[in-house]
Structures are given as C-alpha cells and as structure tokens.
Amino acid sequence: MHLELLSNINSPKDLRQLDPNQLEQLARELREFIIDIVSTKEGHLGASLGVIELTIALHYCFDTPEDLLVWDVGHQAYGHKILTGRREVFDTNRKLNGISGFPKRDESPYDTFGVGHSSTSISAALGMAISSQLKGDFDKQHIAVIGDASIASGIAFEGLNHAGVTNANLLVILNDNAIGIDPSVGALKTYLTKAKIGKKPPQDNIIEALNFSYDGPIDGHDLPELLKAFERLKTIKGPKLLHIITKKGKGLKQAEDDQVRYHAPGKFDKTTGEVLPKNDQNLPPKFQDVFGLTLLELARKDKSIVGITPAMPTGSSLKFMMEEFPDRAFDVGIAEQHAVTLSAGMATQGHRVFCTIYSTFLQRAYDQVIHDVALQNLPVIFCIDRAGLVGNDGATHHGAYDLAFLRCIPNMIVAAPSNAIDLRQMLYTASKGLEHPIAIRYPRGRGTVKEWKQDFKAIEIGKGLKLRDGKDLAVLSLGSISSEVEDALNTIDNSFSIAHYDLRFLKPLDESMLQSVFNRFENIITIEDGCMKGGFGDAVLDYAQTSSYKGRIHKLGIPDEFIEQGDTKELYDLAGISSEKIKDKIKAILNP
C-alpha cells in the first residue's frame, strides 16, 4: 500500500502544509489505510469511511488542538486518530494495551472529550465554549460533530436548547447519513430526509427555531465545498449548525450497500469487501439470539407482550419480533430514558413489556428505573444485554455496574442466568406475570449450551442450584461466569474437593441455600462478572454477617478500576475471574 501523502502526516500541522488540491488524494489514501487495517484487525468501519472528507477538512481549516473538536460517540473517529499522530500504532486499535476504539482524553490532546456513548458532544462542546468566554478567549473555535441518530437524543436537544440562548462560539456539524448502527427512526429523521443538498426542508427549520444560524445541507464528501463552508463559519460568532449529507461506508461498495452489517463487520477481504465467513456451525447460540427468538415464541402466544429497545434492534435481536410483529416491537431511537418510561407507561395498562437494553446504556436511565418503574412497582421486564466485560469496546461499553446499581433498588428482582436454558426459562417465567419489576442480565457472545430450545418451565424466583458437591471449599457464582468456574474445577487437582453453587438471583438471594453453605464450609469464594463494590459478593457478605457466619468469604469480581479494551478472555484474566485465576485462588486458600 503506497501512501505518498499520508505517510508524511504525523499531525494536523503536517496536513496544513498540503495544497488544497492534494486533499482529494489524501482522502483516498486515508480510506485505503483504514480499510486495509480494519479488514484484518476488525473494528468499526462504516462510520469512519463516511467522514473522511469531513475529518480532513476540519483539521485543515481549524487550528486543532487549540481549537476544540468533539466527536459524538466516536465510532467515526478512526481518520481523526490517524491524522493526529496515531497512524503507526493504529493496528493496535481496540487491543489490550493498544489505542482505544474511541476518542480518549489521556490518549491524545486532540481527543478533547472521551466518548463511547452517544449524544454528549453538543453539551460538552458548549461547556468548553462557555469556559473559553469566561477566560476572555472569544476567538477559540469549538466544534461538535454529531449524527442524525444521536441528535435526536434528549441530552442533545438539551444542549441545543441551552446553546440557543448563549452567544457561545459553537459550531455543531450535523452529519446526516440516515443511520446510526441501525437505521435512524423518529419524526426528526422524517424531517431530515426531506432535506437535499442545497435545499432545506420546506417547513419551519427546527434548528433555526432554536436560535442557531443554520447552513446547508451540503455534500459532506465535497472537500472544496466543506473548506469553503468552514472558512465562512469561522467568521460567524454565536451558535451555528452546518448540515452535511454523507453516506456511511463511503468508498467501499459493500459497506455502502449494507450499512448495518458493515458498521463493525469483523474481518473482510479488503479488495472485494466481502466479509470473511465464520464457521458458526455447531456452535452454541449467542445469548442475544436466545433472547430474541424466545421472546418471539412468547409473543406469538401472548398478545399482551411488547418489546422496546433504544436503537439496538439488531444488536439485541429484538429484530426477530419487529419483523413479525412490527406494531408490538418498538425501536425508540437513542433515547434510553424514554425507553424505560415508555415501558412503564405501557405496563400501567396491562402490557407485559420486555425492555431490552445494553447494560452500559441502562446507566443512562437510572432515574427512570427508580422513579418511573420501581417506585410504582411496575412489572417491567428489563433484559440487560452485554452485561459484564464485553471485550474490545473497552471501558465505555463494559456492563460492570448493573448488579451493584440494581441491587439497592427496592422492589427490583435481579436475575443472572448462567446459560441459555436458564435465560429462556427466566424470560418465560417473567412473561407469565410478576408482582415486581425484574432485571435479567446476560453477557455478550455465545454461551456453552447448544440444545437450549427446551420446553418452557417456570423458575422459582430467588432459588439457586447446586451444580456439584464438595467438602473442602464452596464456590458461589452468579451468571454466565459459572462456565469459568466449571472450567477451573474440571482441570483442578483431584486432591481438592470443591462444591459449586449457581445462585441465579442476586435479589432475592437464596438464603436457605446460603445457610446450608455456611453450615458446611469454612471457606467460600464468591465470583461475579460485575464490579465487586456493592455487587454479589457484598450481598453474600451482608447476609453472612446477619447469620453470624464465622468462616472466610473471598470475593472475586471486577476490581474498583476501569477495565480497558481487549479480548474478553484477556480481560477476565486481568480482572482475576478467568478459570486459571479461579484455580490459583482455590489453591492459595487450601494450600496457604
């Protein structure tokens, strides 16, 4: 791969030495470089390919990092990273000890704000702009790049609403490509689709109504037009918005044609663009598909069942129900707070609501979980996908905190199936009607059970299982981390006799099982794929104290620190919850 221009660019200062007529060639080289690396190393592809020209124009026209550039979500920031000194290490992207897949403040001064969740850019950039004014700097530029899916989120509108009554030097760039991870939804999307390059929608402009100076729409792949627009906008004070229209996956035909799949396609042929086949035959299913297919089965039998997701129909596998029952399955867009309160509203009217949401995104709706669901004791069924350590997306996406932050909420049932069969049966149990809200958390990826599609059978709430007996030590696990425990026990020295209990519920705890364990064992290990502070281990410790347990309880789980990116197995080892680390802990306790 010959990179005549890109190989000499180690910072935006180098970029600004180029003639404007060289930028088109640079755009081609930058696209080729990203495709070449991501095709073998994996990562987010389509979003970055869609903003190549925009990225070049921003760093060419603005004095970054003195001018402050904020990317929303960060899926689209690969070109930005490569142009800001990280080209030589870009092949470490999303790997253990490598660079993050998202902008990260301690990685580069050009990453002005750490992101991974959507819709934060306008508020952050506005905060920076107001700070500049307070310091007497009225010339510094502050730019927020946000997509049409992200700008529909509540926090984005809050930022726009505030910015419109300030004279902050803020430029919002609306990158309009009609898609986030899945296609954009909602009334704002309908409004934006009426906009064409060079032509505003005919009705009142919602952005101008918020006191923004509005420019566009312009072609976001037309470099000369972008440069001209930025030079003009730099001279305009106060809040302003440039509406650009782009194509996600631009420059790779397959990515343009199948934008959902090529958001993060895995490995693919860089020449043809074809995704390389994976040998998925005879593998256990993904937990998300067990959820989606089981929910569809239940919905066929019960018309009161509805499904709700905030912008993740494909990732959560709610797509199966959406395809068959589009009037009972809802993608509400990037609006987690709305998703939870919408669920609560429907629950008041007798619907059995399955709200499927990633653990890391449920954090954004914590008040709604407490105030709108639990306080009113509404039986919303939260299906919490991507719980625990999720791998290469890193700290912004790990579902490390749901056990701890849900455990303290009154009325909330908290369940963690260890395998696909338990997940299926918990979904069935919840569908038959509960008196309280329930959270069912499960991990990203595949389980260990192939024959998961068994006849429905209700599970007793708050009851665990003894998976194996033993006499020297007891391991208490919660959730899918049970498989790591079983791997450890299957390979440990036969001189050890270890019992294993799967609690299945954090709340209510199986107190009768715990009493039995307390009566038999002097040493107990608790293990969870969640933060140890306030989680499962602490719940067992709390109960042990009230029961006057005299033995020792050893906690394993995610430590009190943010875990960065890497393969899930690597991160399990780093956190001390891999099968090898479990074996080491058992040996250390029994052979001190």
The pLDDT assigned to 398 comes to: 97
386 is written with which tokens?
């991507």
53 annotated ligand binder: no
483 annotated ligand binder: no
Say which of 31, 248, 286, 441 is annotated catalytic: 248
Q: Where are the alpha helices (DSSP H) in 210-264?
A: 223-233, 253-257
Please, what is the Cα angle at 249 between 243 and 253, to 5 degrees?
130
Residue ranges of the chain that CATH labels 3.40.50.970: 6-257, 287-441
The pLDDT assigned to 90 comes to: 94
Distance of CA 303 to CAs 46, 293, 300, 320, 431, Å?
Answer: 38, 16, 7, 16, 11
119 annotated ligand binder: no
Query: For this structure, is 86 an active site residue?
Result: no
150 annotated ligand binder: yes
Residue type, 10: N
Give the DSSP H/E element, type plus range, for residue 537: helix 536-546
CATH no., domain 465-590: 3.40.50.920
148 annotated ligand binder: yes
177 annotated ligand binder: yes
336 annotated ligand binder: yes
Integer Cα distance of 65 and 90 in angstroms: 20
Report the CATH architecture of 287-441.
3-Layer(aba) Sandwich (3.40)
Integer Cα distance of 293 and 428 in angstroms: 12
Q: Mention the CATH class of domain 6-257.
A: alpha beta
The pLDDT assigned to 282 comes to: 84
Residue ranges of the chain that CATH labels 3.40.50.920: 465-590
420 annotated ligand binder: no
3 is written with which tokens?
């990179």
389 is written with which tokens?
């350590």
Query: For this structure, is 451 an active site residue?
Result: no
The pLDDT assigned to 261 comes to: 87
Residue whose tokens read 């194509």: 247
Query: For this structure, is 336 an active site residue?
Result: yes
* pLDDT tens, the chain, 592 aa long: 688 999 999 999 999 999 999 999 999 999 999 999 998 988 899 899 999 999 999 999 999 999 999 999 999 999 999 999 999 999 999 999 999 999 999 999 999 999 999 999 999 999 999 999 999 999 999 999 999 889 989 999 999 999 999 999 999 999 998 766 667 767 777 777 776 777 776 666 778 888 888 888 999 999 999 999 999 999 999 999 999 999 999 988 888 888 888 888 888 888 888 888 887 778 999 999 999 999 999 999 999 999 999 999 999 999 999 999 999 999 999 999 999 999 999 999 999 999 999 999 999 999 999 999 999 999 999 999 999 999 999 999 999 999 999 999 999 999 999 999 999 999 999 999 999 999 999 999 999 999 999 999 999 999 999 999 999 999 999 999 999 999 999 999 888 999 999 999 999 999 999 999 999 999 999 999 999 999 999 999 999 999 999 999 999 999 999 999 999 999 999 999 999 999 999 999 998 7
Integer Cα distance of 141 and 64 in angstroms: 9
Say which of 42, 225, 336, 486 is annotated catalytic: 336
